[in-house]
Amino acid sequence: MMALPEAAPAASSAHPSQFSPQFIPIPANDRVFSFRDHAALWFSLGVGLLVIQIGAFLGTALGTQTALFAIVVGSVLGAALLALVAYIGYQRGLSSPVLMCQTLGTSFARLPVVLNVVQLIGWSAFELVVMRDGTTALVKDITGIDAVWLPYVAALFWGLLLIGLATGSMIGLVRWFVGRFGLPLVILSLIWLTWQFGAKAQAQGWDAIWNRAGDGSMSTLAGIDLVMAMPVSWLPLVADFARYGKAGASTFRGTWLGFAIANIWCHALGVLVVSTTDVGADLMAALLLAQGGLIALGLILIDEMDNAYGDIYSGSVALNFLHGRRSIRFWGIALATLATGCALFLPMHGIEPFLLMLSSVFVPLFGVVVSQLALQGAATSRRVNPVPVAIWIVGIVAFHACPAIWPQVGSAIPALLITLILGTLYRVTRTPTLQAA
């Protein structure tokens, strides 16, 4: 595992416009997250039904052996990048919006911050839709009720719970609910489902499943790219939590190990499920039909709430950055209410491509952030930092152009490589005019 220097949290740039509270690093006394807290949080955020579904898709497209290879490589690399941004957040003690300001400029960075708020509202609503549909399936399986009003009641139930969580303390939620209650239950549910589908695999013959071929609809590199999409989708959020870390090494390792293990486990479980069920079978139905699947699926649905809360919390941090007169708690309640309304009335699956398009701007953005701010890099004091902005735009173009020109390489990997390389070259060769962070 890579070793990182244990540096003291860096102060933010002393530009006159940056004396607002959002630009002040988190004090040492408020830094309470240990390795266990980081690992529990990011393991919990790495677990989800969507991840299991992607694993099932990879198993069908690549076959068992190649899918597992792509899962391990993509998870290790993607979680390492997530952990590196977490380490930067710890070093500076600052939120993600401020890291964007220190990279792109104090005024221009408001554009990606606003885009981030929009995508976080959408993704939190999408999480509510996942929980709504899962709850509807559970109720139908238990009671036989299949009424038209049931999805609305389920969405409202989870939405009200999300609003309730938004009124509380993020630190308390992570250290108490996630670490002491939620994490052990979700681990038990994953163990149980793995045991059940492992038993089915043993009955069918491990050799046949291990040598199961894919349909060839995806290359190995594109599979790695797809697996990386899960950890890198959290890049705009990770510093909001990592700034509360006690130490740099524990922040990095806890984030990396927590997310990588969860990502590998859930993707691999999806491969196992699809390898042991009939072709075209519904994943939700397959999980429900497993012995004890009802309870396990229910626990995973409860864990999905962490994902929605993570989106809401970071969205409220971003809005507090844009409009500091309102508290993070106020913005959290407002965003949770809005997300609940979206989950009740909007066709969320129809706007998923729009959400994915918005997410695509943050993969190259944080390639630029890493290239400029890692290893105590200088923070810009400009309103617009033109070269990093240009590199970000090039990365966005690469993200969308590469799949059309060279579909075998995917989107995230080339966009990250281009922004990291160009950003590093700029950082090495530029005249040292920026004030050191």
The pLDDT of residue 260: 96
Segment among 20-29, 93-102, 319-328 with least mean pLDDT: 20-29
pLDDT level of residue 26 (50, 70, 90 thresholds): confident
pLDDT level of residue 422 (50, 70, 90 thresholds): very high
The pLDDT of residue 106: 85
pLDDT over 50 (residue 5): no
Segment among 14-23, 47-56, 107-116, 342-351 with least mean pLDDT: 14-23
HSE value, Cβ hemisphere, 13 Å, CA-based, for 399: 24
pLDDT over 80 (residue 167): yes
pLDDT over 90 (residue 414): no
Q: What CA–CA distance (Å, rounded) separates 239 from 220?
A: 31
The pLDDT of residue 392: 93
The pLDDT of residue 291: 62
pLDDT over 50 (residue 308): yes
pLDDT over 80 (residue 284): no
The pLDDT of residue 86: 94
Domains of the chain: 29-429 (1.10.4160.10)
pLDDT over 90 (residue 83): yes
The pLDDT of residue 151: 86
pLDDT over 70 (residue 13): no
- In tens, the pLDDT along 31-67 reads 888 898 899 899 988 888 788 888 988 998 999 999 9
pLDDT over 60 (residue 4): no
Please, what is the average pLDDT of the chain?
83
Residue 213 phi, psi dihedral angles, 5° rounding: -90, 155
Once rounded to an integer, what is the mean pLDDT over residues 316-336? 89
- Both structure tokens of 363: 């993969």
Which residues have a Cβ under 8 Å from the Cβ of 387 and sit 6 or more positions away?
426, 430
The pLDDT of residue 434: 44
The pLDDT of residue 307: 82
- In tens, the pLDDT along 15-25 reads 434 446 667 88
pLDDT over 80 (residue 349): no
Segment among 1-15, 65-79, 211-225 with least mean pLDDT: 1-15
Which residues have a Cβ under 8 Å from the Cβ of 184 and sit 6 or more positions away?
none
The pLDDT of residue 43: 93
The pLDDT of residue 346: 73
Segment among 100-109, 273-282, 334-343 with least mean pLDDT: 273-282
Once rounded to an integer, what is the mean pLDDT over residues 299-320? 84
pLDDT over 80 (residue 248): yes
The set of long-range contacts for 282-290, using a CB threshold of 8 Å and a minimum separation of 24, is 283/49, 283/52, 283/53, 283/56, 284/49, 284/133, 284/134, 284/137, 285/137, 287/52, 287/193, 288/137, 288/138, 288/141, 290/193, 290/196, 290/197
Once rounded to an integer, what is the mean pLDDT over residues 207-213? 88
Residues 120, 126, 130, 135: is their CA dihedral positive or negative?
Answer: positive
Nearest to 185 by CA among 313, 303, 282, 59: 303
The pLDDT of residue 293: 61
Nearest to 272 by CA among 206, 365, 359: 206
Once rounded to an integer, what is the mean pLDDT over residues 336-360? 76
pLDDT level of residue 14 (50, 70, 90 thresholds): very low
